[in-house]
Structure 1
Amino acid sequence: MVKIGYKLSSELHSPLDLVRYAKHAEDAGFDFASISDHYHPWINKQGQSPFVWCTLGGISQVTEKLIITTGVTCPTVRIHPAIIAQAAATAAEMLQGRFILGVGSGENLNEHILGDVWPSAPVRIEMLEEAVDIIQTLWKGGMQDYEGMYYRVVNAQIHTLPEKLPPIFVAANGAIAAETAGIIGDGLIAIGEKKELVDVFNVSGGESKHCLSEISLCWAENDDDAVDTVYEYWPIMPFKSDLSWEIPTQTHFEQLAENVKLEDIAESTLCSSDPQKHMDKIQRTIEAGFDYICIHQIGPNQDEFIEFYREEVLPEFR
């Protein structure tokens, strides 16, 4: 059965607003929510970057049914995987079986802040593979040691473990990462309608596992206003390349966005008040092989968007 989710954008909203939106999304009938884990927003205009593990605690206290996934956490550079193992175990305990740990190989934007070398993509995937192994090892309970190629763990034990361990979904933007996700993950996370990633994931061990796609779009009462909103808050939408993972600062992203025109936004991003266009976008993503569809509403008008989906879109997928 397909699940429709709501994106909690940590780059654009304060932690208390994110908690409130999670509650509103649950009440409106969304099945799950995916919350981003950033140290920086993409551009300064977005203006926020609350610590996701604190925000998750607040969400756990105001929701009862909503499944929550990190979308996504990088457990390799900025934060050691042993710490992520503890944080995720605590989140899973607080959410009582409603937590999914979504992990990925990260973006330089967030991971460079301690002065560590930003590795090449193949090395980042190797680090992610080892990090997931560490997390799963620590989730076994008991005192654990680990001596890997990239990480070391000595006499570590997570004492607060949930009765039901959370699944681990692995993000992929290319074939190598999708193959790794099929091998080590309980699910796949991707952006858009990338059937080719689902295919690689399935043949690599992911068949019968869940596939989550994130769709970024903008609803507004007027379609031109929706385009303007994306242009103001998320002008990097037209860029669909590996460059996004390599750029180190918001200033660099803003310089990149200077090349974007309004027509580029209209061509790259669904900006519409027509519910049929939203339903068609979701349906195409389902047909590409995804069964978890997360909708990322760009801009400040989140409550209005949630109500639009409650009334016009979600009933069509029930």
Structure 2
Amino acid sequence: MVKIGYTMMTEQAGPRELVDHVVGAEQAGFDFSVTSDHYFPWLRSQGHAPYAWSVLGAAAQATERIPLMTYVTCPGFRYHPAVVAQKAATMQLLSGGRFRLGLGSGENLNEHITGGGWPSADVRHEMLEEAVGIIRSLFDGGHVTDRGPHFRVDSARLWDLPSTPPPLGVAVSGEQSCAIAGRHADLVIATEPRPDLLESFDRHGGTGKPRVGQLPVCYDPDRDTAITRAHEEFRWFGGGWKVNAELPHPDSFAAATRFVTKDDVAASIPCGDDIESFVEAVRPFAAAGFTEIALVQVGGDSQPAFLEWSAEALLPALREAFA
């Protein structure tokens, strides 16, 4: 059975609202939740970017059952890997074992702020693999010293370490990242329903491990309203990872998507309240072999209505379709 998750989209709501939303997602019956980790929104119209780890800590205390996960954190620019390990271990303790650490090679949008430049994808993947090794070593306990090509760690230790470390996921978009995920991750993360990514993950050691996808949706009783909202806030989504990872500012995304039409958005994101269109949008992920799919409801103010509709109609339909 495919698990259906809920996304706390930090780019479109403030911290208190995000916690309220994930509480609502737990009550609605979602199987798990994920959280973006941004310093900027993709577009100015989204309007938010609170610190994800504070939101996660509050969410861990406000909820009881729903699993929590970063989707995803970059352990190489804004955050040193040793600090990511400490944050993840603390979240696993606060949540009572409900936390998973999703990692990726990052986006220029969020990581340029520390002034270290934005290296090529090859270098970013090298950094990610080295960071994963540091985090794993700290999860194992004891003091860790590391003198790698990208990071230094000097006698670090996690003093509050859960008995079971959080499972570690790696986001993939091509062969290099799939190889890192297959070698080091407990689960794989992707935003496209591409079977070739999962096949590559399996070739590198990922066989039998969970695979988590993510899908934007835009519920509203009025389909035109939903399409307008999706266009205003989520038209950046169709740019593809190679583009989205490189642009440095929300205004860059606005310029890059200035010719994207409402029809373009409606063709790629299910909009309105037609259950079957939402089911059909999920189907490619299930067919590709994803075991978990996190939905992103577009629009911060629309979350309560979406959660109510999900509990009453959407989740039952998805569970029947993908049992």
TM-score range, shorter chain: over 0.9
Question: What is the root-mean-square deviation of aligned Cα atoms in Å?
Answer: 1.2
How many angstroms does 1:233 deviate by?
Answer: 1.4
Secondary structure of the structure 2 residue equivalent to 1:6: strand
Find the aligned partners of 2:263 and 2:64 in 1 and give their Cα distance.
42
Aligned to 2:238: 238
Task: Verify: 1:184 aligned to 2:196, yes or no.
Answer: no
Find the aligned partners of 1:249 and 1:44 in 2 and give their Cα distance.
9
Task: Verify: 1:307 aligned to 2:308, yes or no.
Answer: yes
How many angstroms does 1:192 deviate by?
Answer: 2.9
Find the aligned partners of 1:223 and 1:202 in 2 and give their Cα distance.
39
How many angstroms does 1:47 deviate by?
Answer: 1.1
How many angstroms does 1:33 deviate by?
Answer: 0.6
Task: Verify: 1:50 aligned to 2:50, yes or no.
Answer: yes
Aligned to 2:128: 128
Mind listing any 5+ residue stretches in structure 2 that lack a counterpart?
none
Aligned to 2:166: 166
Task: Verify: 1:218 aligned to 2:223, yes or no.
Answer: no
How many angstroms does 1:114 deviate by?
Answer: 1.1
Deviations 1:189-217 (A, max 9, x none): 00131111111111111110000000012
Report matched runs for 1:70-89 at 5 Å. Answer: 70-89=70-89
Query: Closer, same or farther in 2 for the Cα pair 1:59/1:241, shift >3 Å?
Result: closer
Query: Match of 1:131, as an amino acid?
Result: A
Report matched runs for 1:2-21 at 5 Å. Answer: 2-21=2-21
Find the aligned partners of 2:271 and 2:250 in 1 and give their Cα distance.
24
CA contact (8 A) 2:218 2:270 kept: yes
CA contact (8 A) 1:96 1:162 kept: no
Deviations 1:167-210 (A, max 9, x none): 00100111221121111111110013111111111111111000
Secondary structure of the structure 2 residue equivalent to 1:234: helix
How many angstroms does 1:256 deviate by?
Answer: 1.4
Deviations 1:212-264 (A, max 9, x none): 00001211111111110011112213322511100111111111122221111
Question: What percent of counterpart residues are identical?
Answer: 40
Aligned to 1:261: 261
Matched residue count: 318
Report matched runs for 1:93-132 at 5 Å. Answer: 93-132=93-132
CA contact (8 A) 1:57 1:94 kept: yes
Structure 1 segments (4+ residues) deviating >3 Å: none
Query: Closer, same or farther in 2 for the Cα pair 1:287/1:74, shift >3 Å?
Result: same
CA contact (8 A) 1:73 1:103 kept: yes
Secondary structure of the structure 1 residue equivalent to 2:113: coil
Query: Match of 1:113, as an amino acid?
Result: I
How many angstroms does 1:294 deviate by?
Answer: 0.3
What's the TM-score once normalised by structure 2's chain length?
0.96
How many angstroms does 1:313 deviate by?
Answer: 2.0
> After alignment, is 265-274 or 93-102 more displaced?
265-274
CA contact (8 A) 2:173 2:241 kept: no
CA contact (8 A) 2:235 2:260 kept: yes
Query: Match of 1:142, as an amino acid?
Result: G
Find the aligned partners of 1:237 and 1:143 in 2 and give their Cα distance.
42
How many angstroms does 1:45 deviate by?
Answer: 1.4
Find the aligned partners of 1:218 and 1:313 in 2 and give their Cα distance.
12
Mind listing any 5+ residue stretches in structure 1 that lack a counterpart?
none
